[in-house]
Amino acid sequence: MSEPGLFCQINTAATGPAETVKKHVPVITLPEKVKAGEPFTVTIKVGEAPHVMENGHFIQFIDLYCGHIYLSRVDFTAVMTKPDISFSIVLQHEGSRTLRAFSRCNLHGIWEGTREVNVMT
């Protein structure tokens, strides 16, 4: 069943309840070291616990941002895909950045997961 309140905001791990958070907050995985100007792989999986991908309830997309800069999107169809993806990205400047992933569930709204990355020269 749809939860209308979840569609009026960007949901995070703090939104709760824990069971919903576990299935919706994107989990970002990165290499330990990232060098400026060199490609690296960012893996994003929706939820610590698997989210269903049924026709009536599924993850519609994952967007990836670096801070407020849009990087990429992957769209999903129900049944035949899984919200577990990899992006190859290149960050050009050294320093600390926040990678932000947004996933949208058709019944539970948009969820944000973040991960800090320290880009070295």
Enumerate binding residues for Fe ion (CB under 5 A): 105, 107-108
Closer CB to Fe ion, residue 20 or residue 117?
A: 20
Contact 59, 101 (CB under 8 A): no
Report the nearest approach of Fe ion to the CB of residue 107 (Å). Answer: 5
Closer CB to Fe ion, residue 45 or residue 108?
A: 108
Runs of H (alpha helix) within the chain: 18-24
Q: Which residue's Cβ has the minimum distance to Fe ion?
A: 105
Report the nearest approach of Fe ion to the CB of residue 47 (Å). Answer: 9
Contact 59, 46 (CB under 8 A): yes
Report the nearest approach of Fe ion to the CB of residue 2 (Å). Answer: 9
Closer CB to Fe ion, residue 103 or residue 117?
A: 103
- What DSSP letter does each residue of 48-82 carry, written as one string? SSPPP-BTTB-EEEEEEEETTEEEEEEE--TTT--
